[in-house]
Amino acid sequence: MLDFPELLTRAIHDSAMTLQELSDELGRRGTPLSKATLSYWCKGRSVPSRPGSRTAVTHLEELLGLAPGLLVSALAGPAEATWYPTVALDYSPAFRAALNRMGMTLDPQLTALMIHDRITVGAAGSALEHEESFLVRAIRPAVRVFPMLVLAPAPGARVISVSGSHGCRSIAWELVDDDVLLVKLGLEREMRAGDLLQPRLTVRWGSGDRPLTRFRRPMPAPVEQRALTIDFTDEAPERVTLELTNMSGESKTSELAPARQVGHAMLATPSGHLGVSWSP
C-alpha cells in the first residue's frame, strides 16, 4: 500500500491542481495550509500531526476527488478501533438467536478508520434513508462476511429495503425486538489481513404512526473520523440537535445550524451512542 507522501503526490498530479491552488482552497474552507507545507508533505519531510492538520487532510480528500479516509488511513499511526458493531447495545436473547440463525459471531475481524452517515429525510418525515459508508481494515485473514447493526429511527418504523454496495452485498437481515436491524454483509472478494475496503450499507425506513424525526446509532470506539450529513426533502427544520453519549452515560448536546442540508464532522469520537433529532 502506498504511504501518505506517495498517495498525496499522485493524487495532486492526477487532479492537475497546483499546490498554490490547493493552498487557496484550503484557506477558503477554514483550514489554511501554505504551499510550502504541502510540498513538505509530498516529499515526506513532515506529516500532518495536529488536529487542524488532520482536518485539512480530509479537505484535501474532497478537493482531490479521493475516497473519504484514503489519505487519513495512510498517515503513520492512525488511531484505529476494533470494529465491534454491537458496542453499547444490550445483547438480548432475541438478538443472540438472530445472530446464530445467520451463522455469525461477534469476533472482531476489522478495524474502523472512518465512518460517514448520510441521512435523507422524506417529505413530512414519511421515510428515512440511511447510507453508511465506512473505511475498514481487515485484522484477520479470510474475512468474507461480517455483521452490521442499525438502530430503528422510531418505534414502529418499518424496513423498506436493505442493500450493500461498493464491494459488499446484503446477504440477510432481520429486525430484532422491533428496534435493532441485524444485517449480514458479504464481501465481493475475500479480505486478507491489512486489506482496506470502503463498503456502503443503505437502509430505507418507512414511518409508522408518527413522522420520523430522529436518527440514532451505536458508535464503534473510538473512530478517527466521523462525518454526518442530513438532507431534508422538505423545508429546513426549525431545529437540529446532536447528542453524543459515552459508555459512562454522560451526554453532550449541541445545536447544529438548521438547513436543508446539515453537515457535521467529528474527530476521535468515543464509544457509545450518537443521536440526532429535528423539529419539523
pLDDT computed for residue 140 by the predictor: 83
Q: How far, in whole angstroms, is CA 38 from its chain's centroid? A: 27
Residue pLDDT tens, the chain, 280 long? 567 888 899 999 989 899 999 999 999 988 889 999 999 899 887 778 665 677 788 889 889 988 766 787 676 443 343 444 444 355 567 877 888 898 887 767 888 788 899 999 999 999 999 999 988 888 888 899 988 889 999 988 999 999 999 999 999 999 988 888 999 999 999 999 889 888 999 999 999 888 999 998 887 556 767 889 999 998 899 999 999 887 667 788 999 999 999 988 876 666 778 899 998 7
pLDDT computed for residue 2 by the predictor: 62
My answer on whether 157 and 52 are in the same domain is: no
Q: Is the pTM of this model over 0.75?
A: no
pLDDT computed for residue 16 by the predictor: 86
My answer on whether 18 and 98 are in the same domain is: no
- The DSSP secondary-structure symbol of 66 reads P
Cβ atoms within 10 Å, residue 148: 22
My answer on whether 49 and 86 are in the same domain is: no
State phi, psi for 161 to the nearest 5 degrees.
-160, 155
Q: In what order do the strands lie in the sheet with 180-191?
A: 143-151, 180-191, 168-176
My answer on whether 48 and 109 are in the same domain is: no
My answer on whether 222 and 267 are in the same domain is: yes
Task: Give the span between the Cα atoms of 8 and 184, in whole angstroms.
Answer: 35
Q: Domain limits at 29?
A: 4-74
My answer on whether 42 and 157 are in the same domain is: no
My answer on whether 25 and 117 are in the same domain is: no
Last residue of a domain, one of 49, 74, 99: 74
My answer on whether 88 and 66 are in the same domain is: no
